[in-house]
Structure 1
C-alpha cells in the first residue's frame, strides 16, 4: 500500500486538475483548493503536442479531450509572407490510434479537467487557498484562508507563476521575471487550410495559427515590449494589428479583421525556473510554480501535465516520501529545464532580430526530446 494516502493540491489550473485525476485513478484521497471564487479561464487556446496527448492517455483523459478539441498531425513553418519553409511531421506518441497533436480552447480544456476531477471523487473548494503550513516527519498541518484546518500526507503546490506555496516553502526571494516580450491572441472561425499548427517567422515578431475545433482557430503574435508597458485595453486591437504589420498571406488577411479590443487577449511573458529541489519535506511544487516558460515551444502546460503523470505514478508506490520526491526531480528537472532554456532562446533571437538563428532546428529538437518517454 502507498505510504501517501491523503493529498492536498493547491491550485485548480491545468497541472493541479490533471494531478487530481491521476491520483484518484490510483485510489488516493485528494482535496483541491483554488483561490478563485468561480472557475474562470484566462486565455484563448492551447496546443497539446504529442507528449501531452500521451500524458492525457496515461491519465485516462485523452478520449474526453479528443471530443473537445481539434486533432492534427503536422507543424508547418512559414515565412512572414506565408510561404511554406518546412512541414514537420508529428509523432503519435500515445499510440497509433491517437493523433500526434491536439488544439483545444482553454475553456474546453478546463471543463474537461475540472469535470473529470470532480467525477473521480476529488473534493474541491473554491475561494480558498493555503494560509500557513507546518510539517513534521509524518505529515503537513495546513491552515486555510477561511480559517479551516487539515492534515495531509503530502501537499502539492500547483498554484502557478505567483505561487503562495512556493513562497511559504522556498522563500519570497524566488520571483518570476519579465522576458522582454509579450503575446497577443485572438480567436477566428477556422479556415479550412489551418488543419495543422502553422508558425510564421517574421524579422521581428513570430506569429502562428492553431486549430481549436472544427469551427475555431486562434491567431497569436509575440512581440518585444521593452519595460513591460501597460497596454490600454481599448487599444489592444490596434496594437495587435500593428504587431502583425510585417505579415502577409492568411495572417495579413486576418489582421484586418482585428477590430474589437475586447476580443484580444494580451499577456506579458514572465518566467521562472527553480534550480534547487522543488520540494521541502512533504511539500512539492509542480508546473508554473517552478518552471514557468514562454509559449515559443508550446510546452508550458505540457510540462505541467507531465509533472502530474510522474507524480501520480510515484505516489502510488510504497516508498518513503523523500525517495519518491527525489525520483520525481530526477525524471522532471532536465526535461523542464530544456524546455525553458530553449523557449527563452527563441525569444531572445526574436528580440535580437537574428534572422539567421536556427529556430527550425530548435523546434525539431524539441519535438524529438518530448517524443521520448517521461
Structure 2
C-alpha cells in the first residue's frame, strides 16, 4: 500500500541510470519529467557486457524480453590462456531469485533505444537539449530554473549526470574527483564467428582480453592495458596500437588481429573510478549512477548498478512517509552494494596490473557471488 501520494519528480540525465529511474518511478504512477542535455539523446560507446544481475534489474522495467531478443545471452563463460589454450569454464553467477541467463552482451545504442521506447510508452515528459541553471528548496519541494529560462517545482529530483556530474560539485564541494586507475580499456566491434558461442576471457598475457557476443552477427572485443602515464592515443594510431597489444595472442583473438585497420570501430578510454561517501543526497535532490559510484568494467556491473538504483528508489518510495525517510532507505540498500562494485573492480584491475592472473578468477567469483544476491 502506498504511503506517499503521487509525486512530481525531475530526472536529470537521459543515460541508462536516468532512464531506469524514470521508468521505475513512472510505472508506479508518479509524474516524471526527464531532461537530457544532449539534443540527439545518443548512446556513447560500443558493446556492453550484461550479467544476470543486470538482466534481473532490467526485468523490473518491463523490457527484459526485448533485451534478450536484441542482445546475445548464455550461461557461464570460458577462460583461455593468451596462447589460445582453454583453461577452464566458469558457470557464472548463480542467482537464487531468478533463472535468467547469467552472461551476455548488447550494443549500447540498442539498449538505449529499448529504454527510450519504454520511456516514451509510459508517457514520461522528455526535454532534450535542456539542462538546469539553478535550483532552490522551499517547504513545498525543489524549484529548478532551466537553460531555456523556464522554471518548475518538483517534490524531489534525481540526478544521474554521469562521471563528470556538475551537480556533484554543487551539492558536495569537497567531493572526491574521479581517479585514474592505471589502466586503459579498448573496445572493438567485430563480426562474431560461430566458434565464439559465449563470453570468453584470455589471461596470462601482458594485457587481458575478452570477447563478448552482442548479437548473432556481432561481438565486441575488450582489451585492458596497464598505462600508468595515461597517454593520449590519437584515433589514427589506435588500430596499430591495438594490433600490437594482441600481437602474441593465439586462438580467436589471434584470428581477428590482422583484420584490425583504419575502418575498424574502436573505442579507447582511460579508466576512472569514483565512490562518493554517503550520503548521496542533499535537501530534496538525490544522486545516483556514475555520478556517485563510477567504476571500471572489471565486474561488468556499472550499468547494472545504475539500473538497480532506479528500481530501488521506486520500491522505497512506495513505503516511505517522507522524502528524508525515502532517501535514507535508498542509501541503506545501495551504498555497500555499489561500494562492492567500485572497490571490487579496482582490486581486480590491480591484480591484472601486478600480473597476478591466478587471483583474478578468485576475486571475480567472490564478487559475483555477492552481486547474485537480491538487491
Same fold (TM over 0.5): yes
Mapping of residues 1-374 of structure 1, within 5 Å = 1=2, 2-3=4-5, 5-90=7-92, 91=94, 95-96=98-99, 98-171=100-173, 173-260=175-262, 263-355=265-357, 357-374=358-375
The secondary structure found in structure 2 opposite 1:147 is coil
Provide structure 1 residue ranges, at least 5 long, that are not aligned to the other structure.
Answer: none
Query: Post-superposition shift, 1:138?
Result: 3.1
Q: Once structures 1 and 2 are overlaid, which stretch shifts more, 127-136 or 323-332?
A: 127-136
Query: Post-superposition shift, 1:79?
Result: 1.3
Summarize deviations over 1:8-66 as a string: whole Å, max 9, x none.
11111110111111111100001111111112221111111111111111222211211
Provide structure 2 residue ranges, at least 5 long, that are not aligned to the other structure.
Answer: none
Separation of aligned partners in 2, 1:113 and 1:202: 38
Separation of aligned partners in 1, 2:279 and 2:320: 22
**TM-score using structure 1 length:** 0.95
The secondary structure found in structure 1 opposite 2:366 is helix
Instruction: State the aligned residue count.
Output: 372
Query: Post-superposition shift, 1:261?
Result: 5.6
Query: Post-superposition shift, 1:352?
Result: 2.3
Separation of aligned partners in 2, 1:321 and 1:77: 46
Separation of aligned partners in 1, 2:295 and 2:132: 24
Separation of aligned partners in 2, 1:102 and 1:6: 36
Separation of aligned partners in 2, 1:333 and 1:223: 29
Compared CA separation, residues 261 and 237, structure 1 to 2 (3 A): farther
Query: Post-superposition shift, 1:70?
Result: 0.9
- Retained in 2: the 8 A contact 1:73–1:101? yes
Separation of aligned partners in 2, 1:150 and 1:174: 30
Separation of aligned partners in 2, 1:64 and 1:9: 24
Separation of aligned partners in 1, 2:84 and 2:264: 27
Compared CA separation, residues 56 and 64, structure 1 to 2 (3 A): same
Summarize deviations over 1:317-349 as a string: whole Å, max 9, x none.
341111111111111111111111111011112
**TM-score using structure 2 length:** 0.95
Summarize deviations over 1:77-118 as a string: whole Å, max 9, x none.
22111222221213356633x322331000100000111111
Q: Once structures 1 and 2 are overlaid, which stretch shifts more, 141-150 or 309-318?
A: 309-318
- Retained in 2: the 8 A contact 1:5–1:153? yes
Backbone CA RMSD of aligned residues: 1.6
Separation of aligned partners in 1, 2:174 and 2:46: 30
